[in-house]
Structure 1
Amino acid sequence: MADSIIDLNDVRLVLSGNAGPIEIIKGISLSVGRGESIGLVGPSGSGKSSLLMLMGGLEQASAGRILALGHDLTAMDEDALARFRRQNMGIVFQSFHLIPTMTALENVAVPLELSGAPDAFARAAEELDAVGLSARMDHYPAQLSGGEQQRVALARAVVGRPAILLADEPTGNLDGATGATIMDLLFGLRDRHGATLILVTHAPELADRCDRIIRLQDGRIAGAETSRKVAE
């Protein structure tokens, strides 16, 4: 694909189980274009989240090659991968993974502080305002609703202006109305920052908001299609 931002070539993931090695990802090749939004769909156990973790360097491929922004993730050690993610990726999980002893503002500022940004708190405040939490910046996670915590997680994911935004079932722990609001914010932030978005979801209506839908089955790509949004 011209101007691709992520390229996977015959990627495999084998994990150890009680009954021996289990092949989770079975030879996937995929290119994601710069600025594209991809919906990864499929039944539970099909390998969606594992594929996302491989793209983010959170799992190490057992075989094959993964390039992100021209860098070979499969050749990096854990420290190099952590630095690459901090500089180039934002990740949103189903569980919010906020630091309970830090305020919303401090949680969002963490990746910038790790990068040595002098304006970490000003930029964190700007992103919290963008997700509608300007009045909740000094609250701790336990003082926030689930939807508010996910908004903080979204702000933290995009505060570093990442080129790649990965989201693993970001509405999975939220009710329908709150989840819809979070998805509006996610796509709005993606558009605002021009990031490439890769989204794991079980919800067809969310996948349809992406440019392209990749269907997984038993660790393989079972199909790929342009979403109805693009087709229309």
Structure 2
Amino acid sequence: MPPVQPALELNGLTLTLESAAGRVNILKGIDLSIQAGERISIVGPSGSGKSSLMMVIGGLERPTGGTVTVADQTLNSLSEDALARFRRDHVGIVFQSFHLMAAMTALENVALPMELAGEADAFDRARDGLAAVGLSHRLDHYPGQLSGGEQQRVALARAFAPRPRLILADEPTGNLDQETGEQIIRLMFDQARRHGTTLILVTHDPGLAARCDRTIRLADGRVVEDTAAARAALAD
């Protein structure tokens, strides 16, 4: 039987950006392997490189060095157009600030990425996605007519409806109250489990991090702790 390929693999990943003060080393040689269906939290202090790491994994930022392989595709050599198609087909992103199109209804927001991919059943799948997050009664409402929690549920439906292999969530409950945030997290975990999706989320919430299968802690652009690796070492 052939070995199982990881859903995500980073080898020697570095990221250096230019600033007014000169070159800034953001990520410094990160090695990481994540299996399909794992729920991963990325934690660490502000400025540790968490969001930058998510940007690189999602193909939104090109690494300076090392390799990024997601869904059997090495991203480094892809053109910008190819990266956009890759994200469309394989990656769902949930932002802290929702990023919904104000002039589109909830249904249109969720259907949009599937329409762009040429999916004939885009609106049927969008309806199913909104039903899965409890928003069947909000299909024709615009973002400005929805509460913050409802907007984030639309964003969740938009991320999961195309059935991506990987979901990236950057502080998905940061703009929500505690009760609404808890509802969003339950929905996110439920959707990931239902579809077998790999889920990677950035969070400052230790309680949320502990609910994941594995926690990666960053500090100064490096992985300083991997709870899965620590458990494996103890098992040995």
Partner residue of 1:93 out of 80, 92, 95: 95
- The answer for the alignment partner of 1:18 in structure 2 is 20
How much is the aligned-residue C-alpha RMSD, in angstroms? 1.4
User: What is the TM-score when the length of structure 2 is the normalising length?
Assistant: 0.94
Give the structure 2 partner of residue 116 of structure 1. Answer: 118
Equivalent of 1:125 in 124, 127, 134: 127
Q: Secondary structure at the match of 1:67?
A: strand
CA contact (8 A) 2:37 2:199 kept: yes
C-alpha distance in 2 between matches for 1:21 and 1:2: 38
Cα distance in 2 between the residues matched to 1:210 and 1:77: 33
Match of residue 66 from structure 2: 64
Between the aligned partners of 2:199 and 2:64, the Cα distance in structure 1 is 24
The amino acid across from 1:56 in the alignment is G
Q: Counterparts of 2:182 and 2:80 in 1: how far apart (Å)?
A: 35
Partners of 1:226 and 1:26 lie apart in 2 by: 21
Which consecutive unaligned segments of at least 5 residues does structure 2 have? 230-234
Deviation of the 1:37 alpha carbon: 1.1
**Percent identical residues:** 59
What is aligned with 2:232? none
Tell me, in whole angstroms, the C-alpha distance in 1 between the residues paired with 2:210 and 2:114.
Answer: 32
Q: 1:171 aligns with which of 149, 165, 173?
A: 173
Paired position in structure 2 for 1:188: 190
Give the distance between the partners of 1:206 and 1:54, measured in 2 at CA.
23
Runs of 4 or more consecutive aligned structure 1 residues displaced over 6 Å after TM superposition: none
1:3 Cα deviation after fit: 2.7
Give, in whole Å, the separation in 1 of the partners of 2:59 and 2:225.
24
Q: For residues 47-76 of structure 1, what are the alpha-carbon distances to aligned partners after superposition, in whole Å with 9 as ceiling and x for unaligned?
A: 111101111101100111111112110111
1:177 Cα deviation after fit: 0.7
Q: Distance in 1 between matches of 2:79 and 2:63?
A: 12
**Aligned position for 2:148:** 146
Could you tell me how far apart the structure 2 residues matched to 1:191 and 1:183 are? Answer: 12
Equivalent residue in structure 2 for 1:155, among 154, 157, 162: 157
Count of residue pairs the alignment pairs up: 228
